[in-house]
Chains A and B, each alone.
Chain A
């Protein structure tokens, strides 16, 4: 099973990289652009008997390593 994990900074946490990207896009003329947030995308191949089990295992991986839950949120998608 393929798990896709998106790790993003929690709202309100200073995101200097997102800010730098937003400044660059404003420089390119995209005046309509508001905030930009940079996150991480992680793909995992997980052997599991069903999607619920895979999700639970990946959530554990997120809590233990993939995300720093002090400042980051994570979202998990499971695909066959």
Chain B
């Protein structure tokens, strides 16, 4: 199996995520420039965090129209797994791969700290390394991570089990205090309908080895990559 990390002008977590992928996979992923007109044959595509195009117009909006995104949409539709982290989540949403919108944080501040997340379901390729309802600790670092969607979409996300992670306190309660950005329903990450695309604002790659201060993120890469092999 193989993985690709897409690099946009302004991506700054591409190498971090490549390190996490390599640790899980045993070899380095393809690094694919956003202007590439073809995508290597891979089983996992990662849209990394950063500030593509300086977040001009809206976070992720310009990157979502990069040449490579047409290939990624086609691959996603054919079942290839897509992991979209932070700015990558914003790009995936703007590209229509995931529902909703990511707005300016309700507190207006750039939030950079560790948060607790509840694993909403562990029967997906992205979350099978966790137990059902497990509380994990991932870092967040964003200014536009306030998840919004119309009432109908939010209801559908809940009803169809498309919420991947929620912001919670250490005890697993989805309180207002535990919500770093005002996201509707404390939503930190979502799946597409087929659950082969997952986007989340927190950064699993930033706590993927002990030297970084924690390993909660490592299980995601380990299981995501091993299940396909």
Contact = CB atoms under 8 A, between A and B. Distances in A.
Nearest to B146: A14
Contacts of A20: 108
Nearest to B105: A16
Contacts of B94: 68
A12 B121 CA distance: 31
Contacts of A52: none
Contacts of B28: none
A14 B61 contact: no
Contact of B61 (A13, A16, A17, A68): A68
Given A66-B57, A68-B61, A71-B148, A14 B103 contact: yes
A70 interface: yes
A79 interface: no
Band of interface residues on A: 10 to 19
Contacts of A40: 57
A20 B182 CA distance: 15
Interface string B48-60: 0000000001100
Given A20-B108, A71-B148, A13 B57 contact: no
A24 to B, nearest CB: 12
B147 to A, nearest CB: 11
A65 interface: yes
A17 B105 CA distance: 10
A68 B100 CA distance: 10
B124 to A, nearest CB: 24
A16 B146 CA distance: 11
B103 A13 contact: yes
Contact of B104 (A16, A65, A66): A16
B57 A14 contact: no
Nearest to B150: A70
Contacts of A64: 65
Most B C-beta atoms less than 10 A away, residue of A17, A40, A65: A65
A65 B57 contact: yes
B149 interface: yes
Interface string A62-77: 0011101011000000
A14 B149 contact: no
B130 to A, nearest CB: 29
Contacts of B57: 40, 65-66
Interface in A14-40: 14, 16-17, 20, 40
A65 B148 contact: no
The 10 closest A-B pairs by CB, nearest first: A70-B101, A71-B101, A16-B108, A16-B104, A16-B106, A68-B101, A20-B108, A71-B148, A68-B58, A65-B65
Interface of B: 57-58, 61-62, 65, 94, 100-101, 103-108, 146, 148-150, 182
Interface of A: 13-14, 16-17, 20, 40, 64-66, 68, 70-71
